[in-house]
Structure 1
Amino acid sequence: MKRVVVLDYGSGNLRSAQRAFERVGAEVSVTSDAHAAVEADGLVVPGVGAFAACMTGLAAIDGAAIVAQRLAALRPLLGICVGMQVLFGEGVEHGVETDGLSVLPGRVEALRAPIRPHMGWNTVQMCAGSKLFAGMAADTRFYFVHSYAVHHTSGLVSTTVHGEPFVSAVEDGLVSATQFHPEKSGDAGATLLENWLGAL
């Protein structure tokens, strides 16, 4: 059984993420303990709300060091929603720029769309070679809630359109991330989490 830590830094749907991973057969703990977070088979970085607030929460538990140590030890991580966004270089909200973890290249900016937040079910243009979306139909829908997004980055990039195309998932070496919430995406989300677990 794969051991997964959902990183507790005061943000994110911690219990729903825990339940979602338990549903697909992982042994899950929700903790801010650095040793547990670094040593687990998989680390999940959740996040909801504001980019700056999430970075403040991460700073309080030395989250940057936890992520850096995991990657140095060649151990994978998964960012979800704002937990994905904080992996990038910076986020801009209401004209205020906040440094991110700079694990991935890119900038989080307001989604240019007539209706924000982008909330509800939407499809993903799945990139060729994706492990996260392996075995899924092209019309599979996932649940989104966000007003900010990344438009360009490295790695295997899957996209979604809401007003404009944006990065809805990225797979870059040890780092995987989704702008949508797999833990709120029913069977489709469960399949994605199973795929990520299977690659650990």
Structure 2
Amino acid sequence: MAAIGVIDYGMGNLHSLGKALERVSGAGRVVISYDPEELLKCDRLVLPGVGGVRECMKELQRLELNQLVVEAARSKPMLGICLGMQVMLEWSDENGGVPALGLFPGRVQRFPDPPEDAATRLKVPHMGWNRVRQERAHPIWTGVPDEAWFYFVHSYHAAPTQPEHVLGSAEYGYRFAAAIARDNIVAFQFHPEKSQNLGMMLLANFTHWSP
């Protein structure tokens, strides 16, 4: 039986994500674990998370899950969500600078605070529903209309250096990468498990994706 492994490194509410994956996985099973050996047996992996890159990398390294992610990213379908997307880049500007996993060239940067005299003050963190523009075709978008609404909660965002890696974008003061992809990896800045029917469709597409 096919299995989806959710990487548990202690950062994030995995209950809602696990339940969402169970709903869309059909005959597959969902394994939430911090055991590298158990996760490597899964057919595809999900790297979720909320919080900051520094603490994320610290916990991944402590549990030896950073090596698991890099190794699995060479062959297994992999999905990053929110912090799980950010940590896939090379570097985060948080806390004076933090090296990350390096699966995508680029860095993670903070939304700037607007000037005091700005006509419209956009709050940081960026929190709530926002449209996502599909920048290129990909099986993960199957059945999902362009400019669909998804739910975001973040103060930092990914800035990939390779434009071809940007799968979707959103606008918050300026346009930023809301989804990235290459080879067998896809990642979202937003939370599909909190994005109602279209978010569930994205998760379902991931469970059937054969890169």
Q: TM-score range, shorter-chain basis?
A: over 0.9
Task: Quote the residue 1:171 is aligned against.
Answer: 181
- Deviation, structure 1 residue 132: 1.6
- Deviation, structure 1 residue 71: 2.6
- Deviation, structure 1 residue 36: 1.9
Alignment counterpart, residue 48 of structure 2, candidates 42, 46, 51:
46
Task: Quote the residue 2:168 is aligned against.
Answer: 158
In structure 2, list runs of 5 or more residues that go unmatched.
114-121
How many pairs were matched up? 198
- Deviation, structure 1 residue 127: 2.1
SS of corresponding position for 2:101:
coil
SS of corresponding position for 1:64:
helix
- TM-score of the superposed pair, with normalisation by structure 2: 0.89
CA pair 153-16 structure 1, distance change in 2 beyond 3 A = farther
In structure 1, list runs of 5 or more residues that go unmatched.
none
Task: Quote the residue 1:88 is aligned against.
Answer: 89
Distance 2:192 2:132 in 1: 12
Query: Is the 2:160–2:166 contact (alpha carbons within 8 Å) kept by the matching residues of 1?
Result: no
Distance 1:181 1:129 in 2: 20
In the alignment, residue 105 of structure 1 is paired with which amino acid? P
For the pair shown, the structure with the greater C-alpha radius of gyration is 2
SS of corresponding position for 2:140:
coil
CA RMSD of the aligned region, Å? 1.4
Matches within 5 A, 1:1-200: 2-25=2-25, 26-72=28-74, 74-94=75-95, 96-112=96-112, 114-154=122-162, 155-200=165-210
- Deviation, structure 1 residue 139: 3.4
- Deviation, structure 1 residue 156: 4.5
Distance 1:121 1:152 in 2: 23
Listed one character per residue, the Cα deviations across residues 118-146 of structure 1 (whole Å, up to 9, x for unaligned) are 10111101122122212211232110000
Distance 2:22 2:100 in 1: 29
